[in-house]
Structures are given as structure tokens and as C-alpha cells.
Amino acid sequence: MELRNFIANEWVAATATRPVIDPATGTVLATVAESSADDVATAVRAAREAFDSGPWRTTTAQARGRILFEMARVVRQHAAALAELETRNCGKPIVESEFDVQDAATCLEYYGGLATKIHGETFSVPDNAINLTLKEPIGVVGLIVPWNYPLLLAMWKLGPALSAGCTVVLKPAEQTPLTILEFARLVREHVPELPPGVLNVVSGDGPVAGRALVESMEVDKIAFTGGTDTGREVLHGVARSNLKKVSLELGGKSPNIFFADCDLDAATDGALFGVFINQGEVCSAGSRVLVQREIAAEFMARMQEKTARIRLGNPLDRATKMGPVVSQEHMERVLAAIARGRQEARLVAGGGRAESLPQGCFVEPTIFESDNAASIAREEIFGPVVTVIPFGDEDDAIRIANDTPYGLAAAVWSRDIFRCLRVVKAVRAGIVWVNTMQPCYVEAPWGGYKQSGHGREMSLHGQEEFLETKQVHINLSETPLGWY
């Protein structure tokens, strides 16, 4: 199967192609476009035209909303096929892909509804004037997404962008373009109301195609999700070009904090779910488990016992709890981090490649115990690796939790609600869960403090990121100023 770029509702060949690999088996799933800077420029021109002079400008908010509802309907109608494709492409267990696809549709519905709720404000200026704001779409937006939730994270950006009235060029991660291209195919076939050029998809390498989008003088904003170092590159590219607007959803090393009075059974489930879901390839992974010293030994024993029961294997099997990591290259990165961990920390579980599954990129769920200074406690590994860090009292927990350059997420577990709320206030992170970790809703804002990002996705805040605010000042007085 050879898939091309989706530009102005047509399939357009790029300069070169690249294979897309199934990480569970190593087989080639498809060949996709490997876009050059020129290929990206073609897509940007289509988006520019659709925004500047195409019908999208005059499409009403109600019509935009209906188009998003139609997209959501199509996703739900083809949910089973999309989920299977997602699992084959990125390796996540099929049950998780099914969940993600439904979430993707929910996101489109939410922003479909919001299209008609965009509104400005009026301001109390002196009597001889009226002052108000208009909300307007930012323009052409480049959407750059990673490989861990390929379809879902694309919809987190596409939903608010289209709802706001922007046109987009979407670049999937090089490893996982398939569900996004399939989404474009379904939209082309089933949502004919979408004008050409509003949604464009270009696949390709980050430093080539992604960079071309970031540095384009014709793009008004970049909405980026990916690693913190890449986020830095994006900011440099934006500074080198037209100072376009930018929002960044970046990495994390999130603390999952357990006090001695927590329910040990629920807590150890939460510690494992917090980090091992999606093979640990989660930006908000609770990859630092902070455990109060009194319960540390018992906590660790229970984590070890439950980890031994985690079923690794064919991600299309409904009983599988952990699939392969996304690629050979990523597996090698994760294994290198584990090898460093073995030098500096106590290995408690796992610690290598799953030898029983040699055909795919399977890494054992791995637990280390160390202090917060070890590199495995500081660097984002983005794989099934967790570091357990014992702590003394509440102040100690807060100090360790905040001792990181990241600030995406945190969780706190205790039966003492006063303590939980003190920790919620003290931890510098964009989301803090209490007695749970990872639930995520489109109605609520998502984003990071510190080096975990700029701006927020989802909710009303997420839509604001795709809007400009224009102040309008109307003079009501007909008398001359009398200044000259």
C-alpha cells in the first residue's frame, strides 16, 4: 500500500517515500510520503488559499460545527478499523486504541459544539465610546504531533483549530502516520462539505518536513507536541522565521506520590497504571513513584508481584496489557537508559528486552529504586521504566516532586484530604490528580508548567490558542478632537 500526502482534498505524491513498520512484528505496513520542504510548501499554499480566499473564510460557525460533528460520526462509524490500524502502527494494546479512537471522536464533538460559542467581550470605557473585542482565527496552522497517541493527539489540535476557523497542515510523526492518513481518506469520502485546503496532511521527517512547516513564512502558528529538546528547536525555527505564534506540549518526569495512609492495593495499581499504560510512552507517565518510607518495602513487594503478572505480547490480543515500544530505534534508547539505571540504582523488576518475543520491540516493565539524583530519575525515558524514590515527610515529598525541570503532571495518594490539597497547591505542574492518575477529559485544560510546555490544550483554553483577539474602539462623539 502506497500512501501519498493529502493536499487540497487530493492525494499528492512527494519527492520520496518511506516504509512504515509494525513494531510488534517488524513487517512493513505501508509506504508513505517522505516530504521535502517543497512538498510541505505545496500543502501550506493550499491551506493559505483556503484561508485567505477560499470558502472557509465565509463558512459560518454553525457549518464548521456541523463539519466537526460529521468527522466525529465518521470516526465512530469506522472505530474498529481505526483502532486496529493504530495498534498495528504504534504497538499499543488494542483495548487502549479502541479507547483512544472514541476519545478522538469525543474531542471533535466537543469542539464542534464550541464553534458557535466563540465570542468577544465589551469593556467599560468612557461614555463617548464603545469598546469591544472580536475573536478571529489565527490563520494557517501547522500541527506537529508525536507517535504515542497518533490519532488522538492530532484531534486535540485539529478540533480546536477547525472550530476556530483556521486551516491546517498536519504532520504526523514519521513512525505513525497511518491513522491520520486514514482519517483524511474517510473525511474526503464521507464529509464532502469540507472545502479543499482546510485539512492537509504531509508525512515526513521532523528535521525536514517539520522544520519546513516551523520555518514557513506563510504559516501563522505552530501547535507542537513532542520532546522538550525538539520544542526548543521549534522555538529557534519560529524566531528565525516570522515569529509565528506557538504552543508547545512537551515532555515530563511526573511524580506519583504515595503517603503511608493510602489504600495499598488501589495505590500499587495506580502506581503501575500511572507509568506502564501505553508501554510507558505517555507524556504524563508517573515515572517517578515517591513512596513514604514506612510503606516502601511493602509497596515495592506489591509492585513487583503485580508487574510479574503484566501480560506482554501481541497487541491485537485483547488480553495483552503491554505491547512493543514504537520502533527499534526507540527500543534501543529505552534499553540504553535501563543499562545506565543498572549502574546507578537498584533493579527491582524487569531490566531488559523481553527475550521471549524476539520478533518485536518488546521491553520488560522495569522498576528501579534510587534517589532523585540518578539519571533514570531525572531524564524522560518514555518507555516502561519507573523509578521508586522513598521519602520521609510531606515537605520531603514536595521537595523531591518539584526537583525536576519538568512540570506536566503529578498525582498524590492519601486518605487525608487536607494533606492532598496542600500537595496539590505546592506541586508545580499543569495537572495534579488526587487518588488516581491519568484520567484525561477534553472538557478540562491540559498542559505543562516549566519545561513541559507553553499554553494549554483541550477545553475552552485549548480553543483560545487558535484565536486572535482584536480590540475594536468605536468613537461615538462627532465633535472634533480640538487638538490642532
The Cα–Cα gap between 345 and 342 comes to 6
Known catalytic membership, residue 262: no
Give me the least distance between CB of 206 and ligand NAD, in Å please. 2
Give me the least distance between CB of 105 and ligand NAD, in Å please. 19
Q: 251, 227, 353, 366: which is closest to 304 by C-alpha?
A: 366
Distances (CA, A) of 35 to 10, 32, 39, 204: 15, 9, 5, 5
Residue number with CB closer to ligand NAD (64 or 244): 244
* Helix segments in 191-245, DSSP class H: 211-215, 228-240
Contact 351, 370 (CB under 8 A): no
How does strand 453-454 pair with strand 245-249?
antiparallel
Residue number with CB closer to ligand NAD (57 or 240): 240
Give me the least distance between CB of 453 and ligand NAD, in Å please. 6
Give me the least distance between CB of 442 and ligand NAD, in Å please. 13
Which value, to the nearest 10 degrees, does the dihedral of the CA atoms of residues 436, 438, 441, 447 take?
120
**Catalytic position from the list 90, 107, 166, 283:** 283
Q: 409, 407, 430, 435: which is closest to 420 by C-alpha?
A: 435
Contact 141, 161 (CB under 8 A): yes
If phi over 0 gives left and psi between -120 and 50 gives alpha, with beta otherwise, what is residue 191? beta
Give me the least distance between CB of 100 and ligand NAD, in Å please. 12
**Catalytic position from the list 34, 96, 249, 281:** 249
User: What stretch of H or E contains 75?
Assistant: helix 61-77
Q: 63, 55, 66: which is closest to 8 by C-alpha?
A: 55
Q: What are the residues binding ligand NAD (CB under 6 A)? A: 144-148, 153, 171, 173-174, 206-207, 210-211, 214, 225-227, 230, 233-234, 249-252, 283, 380, 382, 408, 448, 452-453
Residue number with CB closer to ligand NAD (18 or 64): 18
Residue number with CB closer to ligand NAD (67 or 219): 219
DSSP state string for 142-154 = EEE--SSSHHHHH
Residue number with CB closer to ligand NAD (46 or 238): 238
Give me the least distance between CB of 281 and ligand NAD, in Å please. 7
In which residue are the cell numbers 485549548 written?
A: 462
Known catalytic membership, residue 249: yes
Residue number with CB closer to ligand NAD (90 or 114): 90
Q: Which residues are catalytic?
A: 249, 283
